[in-house]
C-alpha cells in the first residue's frame, strides 16, 4: 500500500490542500505561518467600514530581524489582547490578519504564494520577496498612539 510521502519535518507535502483548516494538527497549523511578522504590527480598524489597516508600529515583543515574537509561548502575560488565531476562531478573526497571511488566504479559498516557505522550501523567501516586516518597523514605545495613522503601510510590503 502506497502512502503519501512524509517530509523531513514530519508533515505531508501540500497538507493544506487536502485538509480543511479546522482539521489541521497543531503542527500543521503552526507550519502555515510564513514568518512575515505582519500579524505583530499594530493595526487600525475603521469604525465605519470595519477595514483594517496595518501600521509600521510593531508590538513590543516582535523581533524586527527574525520577524518572530520574542515571547511567543507566554505572550499573553505581556500582551493580554494578542489574538491567538486557531481553527476554532478563524471565522471571526481572519479579517484581522494581513492580506498575504496563509491562514487568511486558505480560509478564503485562495492558494499560498510562491514565496511561502511551504511552497519554496526556504524560510528566507518571505523576506527576499519583501513580504516580511524585517527592518521596517517602528517601536510602539516611540510613537504616540494618536500618530499611528501617519504610519499606515500598504500590502504587500
Mean pLDDT by 10 residues, the chain (157 residues): 56 94 94 95 93 94 94 92 91 92 96 96 95 95 95 83
11, part of any domain? no
83, part of any domain? yes
pLDDT at 1: 44
3, part of any domain? no
pLDDT at 33: 95
Count: domains in the chain: 1
7, part of any domain? no
Domain span at residue 64 reads: 19-153
60, part of any domain? yes
Residues in contact with 128: Cβ distance below 8 Å, sequence separation at least 6, in sequence order: 115
1, part of any domain? no
Cα separation, 7 vs 150, in Å, equals 44
pLDDT at 125: 97
In b/e form, how buried is each residue of 33-69, taking b as 16+ CB within 10 angstroms?
Answer: bbbbbbbbbbbbeeeeeeeebbbbbbbebbebeebeb
Amino acid at each position: 500500500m502506497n502512502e503519501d510521502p512524509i517530509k523531513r519535518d514530519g508533515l505531508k507535502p501540500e497538507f493544506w490542500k487536502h485538509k480543511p483548516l479546522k482539521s489541521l494538527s497543531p503542527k500543521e497549523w503552526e507550519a502555515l505561518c510564513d514568518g512575515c511578522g505582519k500579524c505583530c504590527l499594530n493595526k487600525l480598524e475603521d469604525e465605519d467600514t470595519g477595514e483594517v489597516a496595518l501600521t509600521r508600529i510593531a508590538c513590543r515583543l516582535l523581533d524586527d530581524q527574525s520577524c518572530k515574537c520574542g515571547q511567543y509561548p507566554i505572550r499573553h502575560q505581556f500582551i493580554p489582547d494578542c489574538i491567538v488565531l486557531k481553527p476554532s476562531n478563524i471565522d471571526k478573526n481572519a479579517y484581522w490578519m494581513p492580506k498575504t497571511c496563509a491562514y487568511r488566504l486558505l480560509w478564503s479559498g485562495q492558494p499560498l504564494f510562491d514565496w511561502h516557505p511551504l511552497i519554496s522550501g526556504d524560510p528566507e523567501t518571505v523576506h527576499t520577496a519583501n513580504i516580511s516586516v524585517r527592518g521596517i518597523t517602528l517601536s510602539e514605545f516611540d510613537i504616540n498612539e494618536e500618530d499611528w495613522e501617519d504610519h499606515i503601510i500598504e500590502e504587500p510590503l
